[in-house]
Structure 1
């Protein structure tokens, strides 16, 4: 059963139970009220009977006539009996005993008694008079109340059926309307395939449970997309990039072993093999680092990172690298009180170090400046070098995996550093861009949104 059907059913059952409770309460309240009212009327009949039959000799003719006129109406199925001290009926022409001695004695004992006898209601009173002690018992059937109760029952059944149908239909409509965002969410999820993992479902503006579900689903899709990108990177590029140095090593070895060589030629062949092996090792190292970045991001918790402290730590580490140039750190341009983002410190260090390393490499270990700048809506890190610059064609490709500039063979690397840096920065909701002109150096701009 679908959720909307269950919600409609539960709502209808709960509302129906409440309605039944209210209807039964109304019915039995009305029933008890009418019974109490009819008992009061029977009690009045017994008192009138006592006045008429037992004290008629003590009141005037005018008062007797007034009492008879006031209580002349006969109730449905009315029976009235007066019993003397010997429990024998007196005064009334019908000498039938009608009620048992047990009931009569019970009235004497309790002084006043009310009970039901089938559909009839009975009232008995003990009346002490100068002529003796008497028990007066009156009974009648409240036909009018029974008729009203029957009408009330029919009305209640009609109202119950009408409201039940109304509740069922309205509950179905409310459930369908309430869960419409969930239906929309399901329809959007059905559109996700391996070819469009970048697709994100609409989260809505209500901030309800469905919106939270969509938000968490989108976060899950971000992780899946990153894992899928990593897989595609290995499948499409790793085999080719690893096969190239291996093939070069095999060909070089076959050529050397084809004929006897001089010690110098063997030495040159081994140097060439070592270079290819080092290149392959670098590629493997970069691939493992990229995979580790995904693993660490997926398993670690984000924490608040102060970028000023992070950059100061990175600058201190580069001071201890003898082969690198000078890293000029500038924090004065940042006017904010703090520069805190939510990230993983290890991964963020890898990304920034890759960019700084790239700047040193392409500026021939010349000085590199690193600045922290406060933007209107973002915290910006700029890494600038004085290298040869990058033309527009290459700028569109430098963040692609395994890309190396063919014009700079002396600086050729694995082509994974900038790709991994961009990947890590994007994981933490940041962006990276490049500003460069040929002959004027390059500036990498990392931007993180403010909290």
Structure 2
């Protein structure tokens, strides 16, 4: 069911319920007022007739004759007068006797002084009337034909109003819901035009202040992120294909060349050695891509625990020296830590070790003496790691594109690489809510500054 239909039905149902409550309330209030007014009229008529009879102003036969004659044309009030010991003194029409008084009723009237009740559709009253110091029981009953006719007319009018009003409300509700949802239909039509090949298209925002405007803005922001993700994916796939193709082509060519003709053991060993180097390059590239994928996880998806930065740096130093025995790494504590917490962070030891390993290798391989100087310090809520070298440095262009995936700078011929390490390192530091900055000048070396919040 469409929202337009749902809103119409909900609006009509709610309005019908409220309308019905008001209609019923009007009907019952009107009926209550009619009933009370007729009971008062009965009491007045009963007292008038009882007074005329007891005062001997009109004899009983005349009053009975008037009652019987009027009853043919109007709903005349039937009155009866009794003594307190249930002796009948007067009755308009004993042969009809609408109320059918009993001794128990007389006792009830004497006790309550005034009672009102229904006998079928007839309304009746009973009261104690005092005349010349003596109490009498007076009863009266009549059919409120005029009041019932008005009640029926009111009921029919309310039913017509309810049906007619509800019909109008349904039509108005449908028109309003259609008008209200018209902008949404326009948004849906525009959204249907957005495809993978037209992901740069955006939804029009007519009013930034209303909910639909906020929806369009939010959806456009989502499209913006998706477009960036798609573009990054395209670039990533293209660059990965390019980077993998080179070592794979070299590996294939080396193996094909080895199979062309018989060779000496030394030649086979040389071919296998070259193929192994190409395989190592492929493995290293794949490892870098896998680590890059891990760094793209959300922080809640990665195991985080308390880790000491000095221990991570020692581990990273050992890994670098194990792979490159000719590298030199100096670890220097700028200030003595009175509390271990200043060097302890909440993080993932594997990813942080990978980040420091990349920074140490980058220092060493671009340094003239293959040395990285690591300065460890802290300030306020930050643990600060500075990694410096006295190497060739970077140009402004290289610094600007340093953290771009697969970017190789102007010094790419000095040392091999894939343009993954710096991008991976930045992602890891940001994942740990830290900051990574670089200062460098050509010919004067490079310094990486890592700031991580300590516990």
Structure 2 vs 1, CA of residues 157 and 84 (structure 1 numbering), >3 Å: closer, same or farther? same
Deviation, structure 1 residue 186: 6.2
Q: Distance in 1 between matches of 2:222 and 2:55?
A: 96
1:139 aligns with 2:142: yes
Cα shift at 1:84: 6.2
2:371 aligned residue (351, 355, 366): 366
* d(CA) in 2 for partners of 1:317, 1:198: 46
Q: Secondary structure of 1:390's match?
A: coil
Structure 2 portions without partners, runs of 5+: 58-72, 322-326
Which of the numbers 250, 253, 260 marks the counterpart of 1:251? 253
Tell me, what secondary structure is at the counterpart of 2:79?
strand
| Corresponding residue of 1:60 | none
- Picking from 96, 99, 122, the partner of 1:98 is 96
Computed over aligned residues only, the root mean square deviation of the Cα atoms, in angstroms, reads 5.7
Distance 1:109 1:396 in 2: 109
**What is the 5 A alignment of 1:50-449?**
50-56=50-56, 77-82=75-80, 97-99=95-97, 102=100, 107-108=105-106, 110-111=108-109, 114-116=116-118, 120-125=122-127, 136-141=139-144, 143=146, 147=150, 150=153, 154=157, 158=161, 165=168, 169=172, 193-194=195-196, 232=234, 235-258=237-260, 261=263, 264-294=266-296, 297=298, 300=301, 311-321=309-319, 322=321, 323-328=327-332, 346-363=350-367, 365-369=370-374, 383-405=387-409, 407-424=411-428, 434-444=438-448
Change (3 A) 1:249 1:338: closer
Once residues 352 and 183 of structure 2 are traced to their aligned partners in structure 1, the CA distance between those partners, rounded to angstroms, is: 37
- CA–CA distance in 1 between the matches of 2:400 and 2:364? 21
Q: CA deviation at 1:24?
A: 1.5
When residues 8 and 141 of structure 1 are mapped into structure 2, their CA distance, relative to the original with a 3 A threshold, is same
Change (3 A) 1:83 1:297: closer
- 1: CA distance, partners of 2:200 / 2:346: 22
Looking at structure 1, the residues matched to 17 and 425 of structure 2 have their Cα atoms a distance apart, in angstroms, of: 63
Q: Indicate whether 1:30 and 2:30 are aligned.
A: yes
Query: TM-score, normalising length from structure 2?
Result: 0.65
Deviates more, 1:425-434 or 1:321-330: 425-434
Deviation (angstroms), 1:35: 0.7
Kept after mapping to 2: 8 A contact 1:382/1:443:
yes
Using the TM superposition, give the Cα deviation of residue 436 of structure 1 relative to its aligned residue in structure 2, in angstroms.
3.0
**C-alpha contact 1:433 1:446 (8 A) present in aligned 2:** yes
Distance change (3 Å), C-alpha of 1:386 and 1:183: farther
Q: 1:136 to 1:300 in 2, by over 3 A?
A: closer
| Cα 1:258/1:23, change in 2 over 3 Å | closer
- Asked if structure 2 preserves the Cα contact closer than 8 Å seen for 1:4 and 1:175, the reply is yes
User: Structure 1 regions of 5+ residues with no counterpart?
Assistant: 58-74
Following TM superposition, by how much is the alpha carbon of 1:31 offset from its aligned partner in structure 2, in angstroms? 1.6
Shift of 1:366: 1.6
Q: CA 1:117–1:284 in structure 2 vs 1: closer, same or farther (change >3 Å)?
A: same
- Of the structure 1 ranges 422-431 and 127-136, higher mean CA displacement relative to structure 2 is found in 127-136
Contact 2:440 2:447 in 1 (8 A): yes
In 2, Cα distance between the equivalents of 1:215 and 1:331? 48
1:44: Cα distance to partner?
2.8
Contact 1:82-1:135 within 8 A present in 2 as well: yes
Q: Which residue of 2 aligns with 1:72?
A: none
Q: Is the 8 A contact 2:247 2:279 kept in 1?
A: yes
The superposition leaves residues 168-189 of structure 1 with CA deviations (integer Å, 9 ceiling, x where unpaired) of 8579859986x89988986886
User: For residues 71-106 of structure 1, what are the alpha-carbon distances to aligned partners after superposition, in whole Å with 9 as ceiling and x for unaligned?
Assistant: xxxx962223336689998657x6562225845667
The answer to whether the Cα contact below 8 Å between 1:120 and 1:142 also exists between their aligned partners in 2 is no
Equivalent-residue separation in structure 2 for 1:348 and 1:184 (angstroms): 49
1:282 and 1:406, CA in 2 relative to 1: closer, same or farther beyond 3 A? farther
Q: 1:98 to 1:257 in 2, by over 3 A?
A: closer
TM-score, L = length of structure 1 = 0.66
